[in-house]
A = this chain, B = another copy of it.
Amino acid sequence: MTINRRFLLTARPDGTPQASDFTLADAPVPAIGPDEILIRNHYASLDPAIRGWLDDVPSYLPPVELGDAVRATTVGVVEASNAEGFAPGDWVMGLNKIEHYSVAKLGGFTSRIDADIVPSVTNYLSVMGAVGLTAWFGVTEILKPKAGETFLISGAAGAVGSMAGQLGKLAGARVVGIAGGPAKCKRLIDDYGFDAAIDYRGKDVEALTQAIGEACPDGIDLVFENVGGIGLDATLTHINPYARIGLCGLISEYNGEAYGTRNLWQLIARMATIRGFLISEFLDRFAEGGMAMAKLVAEGKLRFDEHIDEGIDNAYPAFLRLFEGSNQGKMILKLV
């Protein structure tokens, strides 16, 4: 009998998730009911947002239940289907779990994808997936950079940040990135075409404030904020009047008590806006966004990287990379 290996949440993390918070367990491959499909997951997308779902806190999605497999977006192949529109062999993508086999119900987030039009089916988890769509809608709908504006991006070497920066450059903005370590900063300039890079490592809030000021001598008009913490406070010190901050993530605050943002008064003094956003608000435009990103890739205007670790047994160390910053590109776990 085929077994279903699953990556279970078995304890609520306190701070940074520990290996002991998870358990790998084998279960029977589930049977499907009416309107359901059985999916053999090939790849799982490992995203910072997953950390939020592990806490027992109400949010835009319910917490992952203890004993259940960890929620993730996956790409896979339909093995069996009781749902109209899905046939065995179809490639699909959806909000499933880190496990070899998932059951999805018609009317959920699962949709068919065309594996033939992309260089790799993993692209649906990177440039055409949630991270690519986050960059696309965050930049083109939330922030709308204009030529000549100074556009600061935190977590800039990450999957979302590196694409957001390139989209900013395509709009004509001066793009400055914050990243951890000289190698990532070099990649921002050399690989992604940023105008300037700031290494946050080893800097306290004063040093970071000074470094941002030096890299943004005309102040900051737009921010794509992925990180929060002292970087956001340092950023707020340099915003221009009517600055717009797209709040995409606060990864520095997900694993402990939140730092506490102290410089919100700058929003008043600069008549500035922070707008939190989720790509789910653009749900009816995912196809449009994915096609726009795919077109930019095909035209050689957008570079993206995927960091693929192999095997469900490596789910924990692969997930941890997101918080260590040791991944280079969109973090994906190969399950087949």
Contact of A273 among B250, B253, B264, B276 (CB under 8 A): B276
Interface size on A, residues (CB 8 A): 32
Residues of A within 8 A of B (CB): 52, 59-60, 228, 247-250, 253, 257-278, 281
Please report the C-alpha to C-alpha distance between residue A222 and residue B247 in the assembled complex, in whole angstroms. 19
Residue pair A267, B276 in contact (C-beta under 8 Å) = yes
Least Cβ–Cβ distance between A5 and chain B, in angstroms: 31
Please report the C-alpha to C-alpha distance between residue A261 and residue B228 in the assembled complex, in whole angstroms. 11
Chain A interface main SS type: loop
Contact of A275 among B60, B250, B261, B273 (CB under 8 A): B273
Contact of A262 among B258, B265, B267 (CB under 8 A): B258
Residue pair A259, B260 in contact (C-beta under 8 Å) = yes
Take A258-B263, A262-B260, A263-B258 as given contacts and tell me if A278 and B274 are in contact as well, using a CB distance cutoff of 8 Å.
no
Residue pair B281, A265 in contact (C-beta under 8 Å) = no
Residue pair A278, B273 in contact (C-beta under 8 Å) = no
Contact residues in B for A60 (Cβ distance below 8 Å): 269-270
Least Cβ–Cβ distance between A130 and chain B, in angstroms: 14
Please report the C-alpha to C-alpha distance between residue A266 and residue B247 in the assembled complex, in whole angstroms. 10
Give 5 CB contacts A-B under 8 Å: A228-B264, A259-B262, A261-B262, A272-B276, A273-B273
